[in-house]
Structure 1
């Protein structure tokens, strides 16, 4: 049975993701970026993350052997996501470069600066593993992507916290926000 790519994309879109902009330096030294929601943590030792990039994109050729930064977008940064998705609508504000020399966006939830580690064939995408060299965390709420639309957590959202003491086979436990941190 043949899989219809449009229907598969619609199905996969039901998995809610965060929104990132992957940034690097182009050949001329200018900053370049692209909106990517296919991002995940891979390993803590060594510290690795993965981004999946469309083979046809300019970014794919640029980060093949260059350091890059994963900029995790904040809920108010929908226009920035659209800007780096090819619909420029605003002036881009840059933060100071990472220790790797990669450009970083201002006002994001997090920056994760990486050196290239490995590259894998991913069909019509290329899977880039980056070794984390530096990371910064900022306050805010995430910009989310679900079924082809941007979303954000509502103001009444109460997070659940992972109970690390239960970490292990069959030991998954979550604590509500009101009891997190208490013993």
Structure 2
């Protein structure tokens, strides 16, 4: 029997089935436009990539980034304690998003990073050393310390309302204003 959560605690979800309210919650979350990224890392026996849209910067000093990975993702358990790279996709790289979301297509081109592998030609990348991992319900929140990064100009790939879209590049970015 599931107990009622106390304030500040997440409800139990073991054995839970999807309800219409769950679909409304997911649909409501989908109204928030996000960028599209791929988390890459070397596993015990092979190289992995996981498409994510839950990525955020956490701290400038030290530089920290966070990704949220579903516990059901095939590579979820192997990511624990391993260096990883967050690869931000350009608008022309939708094929990479679908490839690493479970619909393989064109083989990606890899780059050997100093800490973790990354994908060639991405809009931006953040190589990270593992910093911490936190329970996030049906996800794990992996926090990494950024040890290398770079970017290029170009339109960004975004996801909103269940579909891919483009966020146009502007010549004067925030980094030029600081």
- TM-score interval (norm. to shorter): 0.7 to 0.9
The equivalent of 2:26 in structure 1 is 9
Q: Equivalences for 1:136-175 in 2 at 5 Å?
A: 136-154=150-168
Among candidates 61, 69, 82, match of residue 85 of structure 2: 69
- What are the ranges of 5 or more consecutive residues in structure 1 without an aligned counterpart? 165-179
Deviations 1:77-102 (A, max 9, x none): 1111000000011121112x2211x1
Question: How many residue pairs align between the two structures?
Answer: 159
The separation in 1 between residues aligned to 2:63 and 2:173, in whole angstroms, is 22
Deviations 1:64-123 (A, max 9, x none): 11000000000001111000000011121112x2211x1110110011000110111100
The separation in 2 between residues aligned to 1:56 and 1:161, in whole angstroms, is 36
Deviation, structure 1 residue 161: 5.6
The separation in 2 between residues aligned to 1:131 and 1:33, in whole angstroms, is 19
Q: Secondary structure in 1 aligned to 2:65?
A: strand
- What are the ranges of 5 or more consecutive residues in structure 2 without an aligned counterpart? 1-18
The equivalent of 2:146 in structure 1 is 132
Q: Secondary structure in 2 aligned to 1:61?
A: helix
Deviation, structure 1 residue 59: 2.5
Give runs of ≥4 in structure 1 deviating > 4 Å. Answer: 157-162
Q: Equivalences for 1:1-183 in 2 at 5 Å?
A: 4-28=21-45, 30-95=46-111, 97-100=112-115, 102-154=116-168
Deviation, structure 1 residue 153: 2.7
TM-score, normalised relative to structure 1: 0.80
RMSD over aligned CA atoms reads 2.1
